[in-house]
Amino acid sequence: MDNIHLTLLLVKAMVPNPGLAAGELVDERSWTDMEFCKARGKWYPVSKTLAERAAWEYAARWPGFELATILPSTCLGPLLQPTLNASSVVLQRLLQGSTDDQADYWLGAVHVRDVAAAHLLLLEAPTVSGRYLCTNGIYQFSDFARLAARICPAYAHAIHRFEEGTTQPWLVPRDARDAARRLLDLGLVLTPLEEAIKDAEKSLTDKCFLP
């Protein structure tokens, strides 16, 4: 058969992964711990992980089938739809004073436009395959909360101050140049995280999801 090139976007196919050994990196080799999720009724990451594994199994049966999967962290930026999505809810609740530390689910954040750009990049590349982590760094949610307080001063008073290093102590920090290296090597340019937060805040207020 002729070569067929396909990209898939799979949020939450990498975390949660509480079984990581101390000092172990979250990278393209990482997979969600489905038994952990099933035991807690977290079916969204289970469904995403099953979908990706099925895609790889299907691709393996067809010579010439080139599959690339994009694994984004929390996607922030303007909302196209009239309703909230899971990623936007994370920022919305944080700005409203939520004390949810995202426990095993936080990995980092990325501008939604960068995820779209990664799709185009992989579709147009002559030969690509494998898993591609799309995130503007890997860091704890406590670090994200401090940055959000600085970028969104109107809501800084409400943002919970998490104790540094306590939200995801198992998560080894990685900057964007390291975490998203496979995509950056192909030419992806990541939007600063500050801009992603500001764009998301504006969209949430414009659509009346924030006062």
Is 172 part of a structural domain of the chain? yes
Tokens of 204: 């949430």
- How much is the pLDDT for 8? 66
Is 163 part of a structural domain of the chain? yes
Is 70 part of a structural domain of the chain? yes
Is 75 part of a structural domain of the chain? yes
Catalytic residue among 12, 48, 198, 202, which? 48
Domain span at residue 13 reads 4-206
- Domains identified in the chain, total number: 1
CA atoms within 13 A on the CB side of 58: 10
Is 211 part of a structural domain of the chain? no
Is 140 part of a structural domain of the chain? yes
- How much is the pLDDT for 45? 87
- How much is the pLDDT for 10? 66
- pLDDT tens by residue, 68-81: 899 999 999 999 99
Report how far residue 10's alpha carbon sits from residue 72's, in angstroms, rounded to the nearest whole number.
Answer: 7
Is 29 part of a structural domain of the chain? yes
By the 8 A CB rule, do 4 and 62 touch? yes
- pLDDT tens by residue, 128-167: 889 999 999 999 999 999 999 999 999 999 999 999 988 9
Residue 195 has pLDDT above 60, yes or no: yes
- How much is the pLDDT for 19? 77
Report how far residue 94's alpha carbon sits from residue 144's, in angstroms, rounded to the nearest whole number.
Answer: 10
Tokens of 44: 């969204």
Residue 9 has pLDDT above 70, yes or no: no
Say whether 48 is catalytic: yes
Query: Per-residue confidence at 20, pLDDT binned at 50, 70, 90?
Result: confident
Is 118 part of a structural domain of the chain? yes
Report how far residue 73's alpha carbon sits from residue 174's, in angstroms, rounded to the nearest whole number.
Answer: 13
Residue 3 has pLDDT above 70, yes or no: no
Cis amide bond preceding 72, omega within 30: no
Question: What DSSP assignment string belongs to 112-144?
Answer: HHHHHHHHHHHHHSSS--EEEEE-S-B--HHHH
For the chain, the average pLDDT equals 90
- Give the three-state DSSP class for 69: strand
CATH code, domain carrying 117? 3.40.50.720
